[in-house]
Structure 1
Amino acid sequence: MECRSPEAHRRHEIGIALRAAFTHVVTRFRIVAEWVTTAMFFAIFAIYIAGVAARYVFSAPIAWSDELAMIVFLWCMFLTDAFVSRDSDHVAFDILWAKLPPGGRRVVGLLQTALFGLLFAVAFPIIVDYVMFLWREQTSALEWRLDIVYACFIIYFAMVIVRLAAKFVSFAGPNWRAHVADDAEPAAPNVVG
C-alpha cells in the first residue's frame, strides 16, 4: 500500500469524482443521442409514407418529400455514428488483434489511433473549408443552403477525432490492460433493443 500525503489523496479523490461525473454526462448524452437519432429514423419513415400516400393515394405528389427524407437520413446516419455507435458496433477484421498478447494489442492500438487521429485531424480543416464553401449552393426542392445540409459531416468528423483521442489516451493510460482485454467492450443494448 502506498503512502500519500493528504493533498495527494484529495487530488486523487477529486480526479475520481471528475471522472465519474464525466462518465455520467457522456452516458446521459449518449442516451439522448440514441433517442434523437431513433426519432430521426422514424421521421424518415413518416416522410416516406407521406410522400407515397400523396403521390399514389391523393395524386398530388409532394416535391420536397424525397429531398427532406434524404437530408434527415444523412443527419441521422452521421449523428448516429458520431454519438451512438460504439467501436464494437463496427465491422472489424481483428484476426491479428486476437493473436497478439496484451502488450502487442496496446502498441497496435496506440499506432492505429495515432495514425487515424492524425489523418482525420489533418483533413478536418479541409473538410470544414469545403462544407463552408457550399453556402453558395442550395437544395433543389427545399432551397436549403448546402453548408447547413452537410454540417453534420463536420460534427461527425470532429467526434471521430475526439473519440480517437480518447481511445489513444485510454491505451496510453495506466489502465490500458482493461482496454485490450478480450471482453473490454461488452455489448450493451441501445434504445431500440
Structure 2
Amino acid sequence: MASLHRFTEAVAVLLLAMIFVAFIVQITMRYIFNWPVGWTTEVSLAAWLWLVLWGAAFCLRDEDHVKFDLLYQAAPTRWQRLFAMLAAVSIIIAVAGALPAAWDYVDFYKIKRSAVLQVRMKWVFIIYILFSVGLVARYVIGLIAILRDPGAPPSRPLPIPQEPR
C-alpha cells in the first residue's frame, strides 16, 4: 500500500514539474527571446487538470478533502456511522451511474485535437474517468471498512497512508 501511495505521489510530482518547466519555458521564450510559444499553455492546462483530478482521487487522504460536517461531528458515533455509510453509498451510486455518460463525452473528444500540439482531447479528458473509478473504489473500500468493523471510527474508514520518515 505504501509503494502504491508513493507511485501516486510521484505522478503528482511529475505533473507539477511539467507545469513548472512549461511556465519557465514560456516566460523565457516570451520575455528573453521575444518569441512566444503556444504549446506551453496547452501543456500547463492539461497537466493542471490531470494534477487536480489525480491528486483528489489518489493522493489526498480522506480528512484532507473539504467537507461540511457540522452535523456529522455533533452526532453520536452510531449516527456518524450511518451518515458515513449513506454518504459512501450516495457517492458510489452517483459517480458509478454517471460513468457511462462521462465515457461517452470523453470518447466523443477523440475527433477533436488541441490547437497547437494536436493531441487528441480524449487523452486530456480521460483523467476524469480515472478520477471517477478511483473515487468509486475509494468509497467502496471505505464502505466495506465501516461494515466490517463496527468499532472503527466512522470518520476514518479509508486507510491512511503513512508519511515517509
Corresponding residue of 1:94: 69
2:118 is aligned with 1:143: yes
Q: Distance in 2 between matches of 1:124 and 1:179?
A: 30
Match of 1:112 in 2: 87
Q: In structure 1, give the amino acid aligned to 2:75.
A: L
**Sequence identity of aligned pairs in percent?**
24
1:188 shift after superposition: 5.3
Which of 95, 107, 128 matches 1:132?
107
Q: Counterpart in 1 of 2:152?
A: 178
Aligned length: 164
> Which consecutive unaligned segments of at least 5 residues does structure 1 have?
1-25
Q: Following the alignment from structure 1 to structure 2, what is the Cα–Cα distance between the partners of residues 171 and 116? A: 15
Give the 5 Å matches for 1:29-40: 29-40=4-15
For residues 76-121 of structure 1, give each alpha carbon's deviation from its aligned partner in whole angstroms, at most 9, with x where no partner exists.
1111111111111111122111122221111111111111110111
Q: Is the radius of gyration larger for structure 1 or structure 2?
A: 1
2:2 matched to which residue of 1? 27
CA distance in 2, matches of 1:156, 1:186: 19
Q: Once the two structures are superposed, what CA deviation does each residue of 1:22-69 show, in whole Å capped at 9, x if it has no partner?
A: xxxx32111111122112112201110111110110111112111111
Q: Residue 168 of structure 1 corresponds to which residue in structure 2?
A: 143
> What amino acid sits opposite 2:40 in the alignment?
S
Aligned 8 A contact 1:34 1:190 in 2: no
- Across the aligned residues of Structure 1 and Structure 2, the Cα RMSD in angstroms comes to 2.1
Q: Residue type of the partner of 2:139? A: L
Measure how far apart 1:171 and its partner are.
Answer: 1.4
Q: Which residue pairs with 1:8 in the alignment?
A: none
Asked if structure 2 preserves the Cα contact closer than 8 Å seen for 1:102 and 1:177, the reply is no
Of 46, 49, 54, the match for 1:71: 46
In the aligned structure 1, how far is the partner of 2:95 from the partner of 2:155?
26
CA distance in 1 between partners of 2:155 and 2:31 (Å): 55
1:151 aligns to what SS in structure 2?
Answer: helix
Runs of 4+ with deviation above 4 angstroms: 184-191
- Deviation of residue 145 (structure 1)? 0.6
Instruction: Give the whole-Å Cα distance in 2 for the aligned partners of 1:160 and 1:170.
Output: 15
Contact 1:41–1:73 (8 Å) recurs in 2:
yes
Change beyond 3 A, Cα 1:188–1:49: same
Three-state SS of the structure 2 residue aligned to 1:178 is coil
